[in-house]
Amino acid sequence: MNNLKNDLFLKALKGEEVSRPPVWMMRQAGRYLPDFMKLKEKYDFFTRCRTPELATEITVMPIHQVGTDAAILFSDILVVPQAMNIEVEMKPGLGPWLPHPIRTQKDLDQVIVPNVYEELGYVFDAIKMTKQELTNEVPLIGFAGSPWTILCYCVQGQGSKNFDKAKELCFTQPAVAHRLLQKITDTTIAYLKGKVEAGVDAVQIFDSWGGMLAPTDYQEFSWNYIQQIIDALKVEIPVIAFGKGCWFALDSMAKSGAAALGVDWTCSPKNARYLSGGNITLQGNFDPSRLFSPPAEIKKMVKQMIDEFGKDKYIVNLGHGILPNIPVENAKAFVEAVKEYEFN
């Protein structure tokens, strides 16, 4: 492995004892940083994803400006459907927009399992460039959306409060849904293996919309596919599984071979430890909106959160991505609180 100057994050993933827990923030490479906003004005979203120099600059920004213990590659979960011959646009004020949603077997016939090196080579280039730029300061995390979460966008055609069309497809045409999920899974496994080859130190699977499903449906339409991804990668690299709203699955997630589980802010540290069996590394779970609180209050709450999770087998993070209008000094207070932590 790398001779990292700061390997706290990787130690926590292995469950080793640490002097303090590591800290990073989901979506830390982005929209709350003024320098990111300057780039945003110049280049559209997917240009930033597809230009290795820009992706690298954005990825490294929070390491120098906020001081997190790990970097996460600037990219998007929807580069995967783009590579699968599904058109994805990013519309200002609306977010993801897929003009041709997948709702029938005929639509599905157009969806390919691509050669990831041809279609997503720009991501691997960005990883190599970022690794050089980081000069072994901190580890680099690669990521992908869960197959279910990707399906949600592919079928709904845009973001949604309930992803009703995605669920309707699963419950009226389950064979089509499962074929689509399998194509996404096969692509994601190849994509994440490419990221490992390019040099990431860990990968995270984001199941942002897992909590939309009832527990039995979750097992069938989401977890079974995440499990395939974990099985394909766990020998090569630590895998973090994060299911938003999926506290009910922490039990099966803990037995999956994942190195760590992300927890959102609706589940208390005590419940998360209990539900996951108490042996696996947990990551989370500060409410992103709580970063609006005054810095002194943020620091107090972070200390309390670490006390409740315990310093070992724990990675400090938010319970979902950082919001765009968080003051940078509040993000810094979050990180500083962890670095100042002393275990009593």
- Write the pLDDT tens digit of every residue in 29-54: 988 999 999 999 999 999 999 999 99
Whether 3 is in a domain gets the answer no
The vertex-250 CA angle with 259 and 78, nearest 5°, equals 70
Domain count, the chain: 1
Cα 271 from Cα 263, distance rounded (Å): 10
Chain centre distance of CA 293: 24
Question: Is the residue at 214 inside a domain?
Answer: yes
Q: What is the mean pLDDT of residues 182-189?
A: 98
Confirm whether 212 is domain-assigned.
yes
Can you say which residues are annotated as belonging to the binding site for substrate?
Answer: 27-31, 46, 76, 153, 208, 320
Half-sphere exposure at residue 141, Cβ-oriented, CA atoms within 13 angstroms: 27
Residue at 136 is within a domain: yes
User: What's the rounded Cα separation, in Å, for the pair 24 and 115?
Assistant: 32
User: Residues with Cβ < 8 Å from 168, sequence gap 6 or more?
Assistant: none
List the domain range (segments joined by +) for residue 96: 8-339
Q: Is residue 45 part of a domain?
A: yes
Flag whether 51 is in a domain: yes
* pLDDT tens figures, 188-232: 999 999 999 999 999 999 999 999 999 999 999 999 999 999 999
User: Interior CA angle at 242 toward 80 and 250, to 5°?
Assistant: 135
Residue 2 domain flag: no
Confidence of residue 147 (pLDDT cuts 50, 70, 90): very high
Residue 161 near residue 152 (C-beta atoms within 8 A): no
Closest CA to 204 of 149, 242, 256: 242
Residue set of the binding site: 27-31, 46, 76, 153, 208, 320
Taking only the tens place, the pLDDT of each residue in 114-145 is 999 999 999 999 999 999 999 999 999 999 99
Domain CATH for 25: 3.20.20.210
Residue type, 21: P
Cα–Cα distance, 315 to 87 (Å, whole number): 35
Cα 9 from Cα 313, distance rounded (Å): 10
Kindly state whether residue 344 falls inside one of the protein's structural domains. Answer: no
**pLDDT score at 342:** 81
